[in-house]
Amino acid sequence: MDASILDGFATVLQPLHFLLLVISVFAGIVIGALPGLSGSTGIVLLLPFVIGMDSSMALNMMCGVFCGSMYGGSVSAILICTPGTPSAAATLLDGYPMAQRGEAGRALGISTIASSAGGLISCLCLIFLAPQLARVGLLFGPVEYFALMVFGLTIIASVAGKSMVKGAIAGAFGLGISLIGIDPLSGNSRYTADIPSLMVGFNLLPILIGLFAISQVFVQLEAENLSAKPVLQHLSRLLPKLKELPGLIKVIVPSSLIGVAIGVIPGTGGAIASFLAYNEAKRFARHPERFGQGEPEGIAAPEAANNGTTGGALVPMLTLGIPGDVVTAVMLGALLLIGVRPGPLLFKESPEVINAVFAGMMVANFMMGVIGLSCLRVWPLVLKVPNSILYPSILALCFVGAYSLGNSAWHMLVALIFGVIGYVMRKNEFPAAPVILGVILGPLAEENLGRALISAHGEWSTLIHSPIAITFYVLAVISVAYSVWRRPGELNK
Amino acid sequence: MHFRDTIAGAAMVVLSLVLFIGTWDFSDVSGYMSPRIFPRLVAVVLFGFSAVLLVRAVPALVRQGAARVGIDWRALVVRYRMLAVLVAISFAYIYAMETVGYVIATILYIAVTVVMYGEKRRPVAAAIGIVGGVALYGLFRLVFDVPLPRFDLF
């Protein structure tokens, strides 16, 4: 193993670092298990705690929540037939029938092993792929970066949810928000309405808190069925039989690789990967007719695949600063807040952070398996937490988190306003992730466009002279075209 | 949904116009990249997609019969009353925190929201409020050193 990655392990295995990583994995599993909360909400809730921390520790905690929440979604899918996260939707197809047969413990055990193995395989792919892509990224100048940002903005089409047009509007709304404040190139104040607090623009944290956490709490106020009913059975036989393992491994390895491949493609995510892996496992199964009736491979395939996307999604995010899915979009914003700017320069200037992340992801996925198996009897209790305690606590945590950013009530106010905006968006089926992409990528696109034009003495044709830039424009067109093709009739709806 | 889309589309068209018109106030001082260019680009994109949303939603609304799509204000008030109260309480919490201090404001805020989210036993709600308020204060003030507002008698 590379000596530098061993350095990463030395960092991650320091007692405090390790403890915080374990806590974040546990918290991620709990958040993922609770229907209505997702990995993106988990990372937003984690932010107040990690601001001011050592960047590699903060990044690893986010990765811990990311991996944990991806697995946690399967707990509620198996126990209450409600996927905690969209990525676990395929797991319930066989997980819940197995639980209904009185084998909830076995279903959770298979899900835990597959998730942990999928995550570990995806880490190995991350360690191999990310440095190669980062090397290419070092060749980029402002022209290439502008083209990359254009490509990044087209991911909006992929994370748009039901309607691409609404996703695009949300993205443009995010770009509009990013314009507020002082223009970095000219020093002009824009859209500030002479309000001093707006001179520096909106900070990302209150926007994240409002759009992803507070709005979700508001939505839950309307939910009629507030408490989930977990499967009430004694969980026994948590580990699969030894003779079952070869069959499971045959499914876990290819499903994990499917997850990695899907995760690397920006704008995809765990939900697509898990259904694709489920489908492939069923296609190659000796008894495909048993799928949907509690087949172990039907649980292992989607779980290995959705955790396989975690390492894959981090590849474009860490190397190019382009998020792979909604959670990494939120993570990208969170990284900027803690002073880490993902991109090829991060690999060159802060290799110790990257190595710690690689090692941290490995440890997080391994510990996810350990925690998952040792706490299997705890998860049904997590699902019993009354919403009357859960959501008010989240709300209070959101506000204190927003306050802690600048020790000012202004950020709380901004979080509340974006909470209301997020609620209105959710009720009208406008996705929130494109807003974040717009807020993050907008200033970067403008800055690099400005630099490119200045270095080319105002010649706009410079934007299409670079082969790398042209490649990104082509990818942008393909990204939009693919999204339209994936949703036939979208433009005519 | 067509009615809501019409309202949303119209609101976004207005916002895009505000963004575009607002650029006239920016001084054009920077050599090759005017501070007006990017905001105008954003405004045009926002206008374009909002117009698409409107073009789709309005004819569907007309087909439905615009007269029958009137707003039932009473139903709307009933449906969103709780949310309006929660938002109002949250605003009050933010402003009260500076006056009565973090702990008292948070205890009251959590206790009230616990009741709103379905807890019927008031003493339990109060207990959750006290535990939550004190725990958050302890964590952020003592562990993370965040100077949360204190109750100041003078």
The whole-angstrom separation of Cα A80 and Cα A87 is 16
Note whether B94 and B116 are same-domain residues: yes
pLDDT tens-digit readout, B87-98:
999 999 999 998
Are A260 and A307 in contact, with CB atoms under 8 Å apart?
A: no
Expressed as residue numbers, the domain containing B22 is 2-69
The structure tokens listed for A412 are 């709380």
Select the residue from A34, A53, A399 to test the B interface by mutation, using most B Cβ atoms within 10 A: A399
Report yes or no: B101 at the A interface, CB cutoff 8 Å.
no
Question: Could you count the other beta carbons within 10 Å of the beta carbon of residue A131?
Answer: 17
- Residue-wise burial string across A295-312, b where 16 or more C-beta atoms lie within 10 A, e elsewhere: bbbbbbbbbbbbbbbbbb
- In the numeric block, the tokens 């047969």 are attached to A101
A19-28, A84-93, A125-134, A193-202: lowest mean pLDDT where? A84-93
**A20 with A324: CB under 8 angstroms?**
no
State how far the Cα of A452 lies from the Cα of A459, in Å rounded to an integer: 9
> If you search the block for the tokens 């295995």, which residue do you land on?
A13
Band (A115; pLDDT cuts 50, 70, 90) = very high
* Residue that terminates a domain, selected from B69, B84, B106: B69
How many Å from the N-terminal Cα to the C-terminal Cα in chain B?
Answer: 53
| Alpha carbons B129 and A256: distance in angstroms, whole number | 44
Same domain for B55 and B13? yes
Please report where in the chains the tokens 């990208």 appear, as a residue: A332
pLDDT at A493 exceeding the cut of 50: no
Instruction: Answer whether B132 sits within 8 Å of A392, measured CB to CB.
Output: yes
Last residue of a domain, one of B34, B69, B104: B69
Q: Is residue B150 part of a domain?
A: no
Select from B138, B140, B136, B112 the least CA-distant residue to B125.
Answer: B112
B65 within domain boundaries: yes
> From CA A27, how far away is CA A349, in angstroms rounded?
31
CA distance A380 to A80: 9
Whether B19 has its CB under 8 Å from any CB of chain A: the answer is: yes
pLDDT tens per residue, range A247-304 = 889 999 999 999 888 888 776 677 778 888 888 888 888 888 888 888 899 999 999 9
The amino acid at A102: G
Could you say which of B35, B56, B144 has the minimum Cβ distance to residue A186?
B35
Do residues A470 and A464 lie in contact, with contact meaning Cβ atoms separated by under 8 Å? yes
Tell me: do B78 and B56 sit in the same domain: no
Report the chain A residue with the minimal C-alpha distance to residue B17: A176
Q: What is the DSSP letter of B1?
A: -
- AA letter at A164: M
Torsion sign (Cα): A433, A435, A438, A441: negative
Looking at the structure of chain B, the number of domains it has is 2
Helical segments of A101-228, H only: 104-137, 142-158, 164-179, 204-208, 215-222
Residue B133 lies inside a defined structural domain of this protein: yes
pLDDT at A93: 85
Number of H helices, E strands in chain A: 21, 2
Which chain A residues contact residue B128 at CB under 8 A?
Answer: 389, 392
pLDDT in tens, B43-81: 999 999 999 999 988 887 787 765 555 666 777 777 788
B98 and B132 housed in the same domain: yes
Q: In whole angstroms, what is the distance from residue A432 CA to residue A183 CA?
A: 25
Any domain includes B148: no
Beta strands A181-182 and A189-190, pairing class: antiparallel
Q: Give how far the C-alpha of residue A275 lies from the chain's centroid of Cα atoms, to the nearest Å.
A: 18
- CB-nearest to B49 from A169, A222, A409 is A169
The reply to whether B23 and B63 lie within a common domain is: yes
Q: Does residue B153 lie in a domain region?
A: no
Residues of A within 8 A of B110 (CB-CB) are 392-393, 396
Predicted complex ipTM: 0.91
Q: How high is the mean pLDDT of chain A?
A: 84
Shared domain for B88 and B59, answered yes or no, is no
Closest residue by Cα to residue A58 from A30, A26, A118, A16 = A16
**Residue B154 counted as domain residue:** no
Task: Using the 3D structure, point to which of B69, B96, B121 is the last residue of a domain.
Answer: B69
The verdict on B21 touching A (C-beta cutoff 8 Å) is no
What number of C-beta contacts closer than 8 Å exist between A and B? 168
Tell me the two tokens of residue A49.
């705690």
On chain B, the residues whose CB falls within 8 A of the CB of A391 are 113, 117
Give the C-alpha separation, A135 to B12, whole Å.
Answer: 41
Least confidently predicted of A20-29, A238-247, A290-299, B41-50: A238-247
Q: Is residue B152 part of a domain?
A: no
Q: How many CB atoms sit inside 10 A of residue A187's CB?
A: 11
pTM of the model: 0.81
Average pLDDT of the segment spanning A227-236: 56
**Burial state string for A389-408 with b = 16 or more CB within 10 A and e = fewer than 16:** bbbbbbbbbbbbbbbbbeee
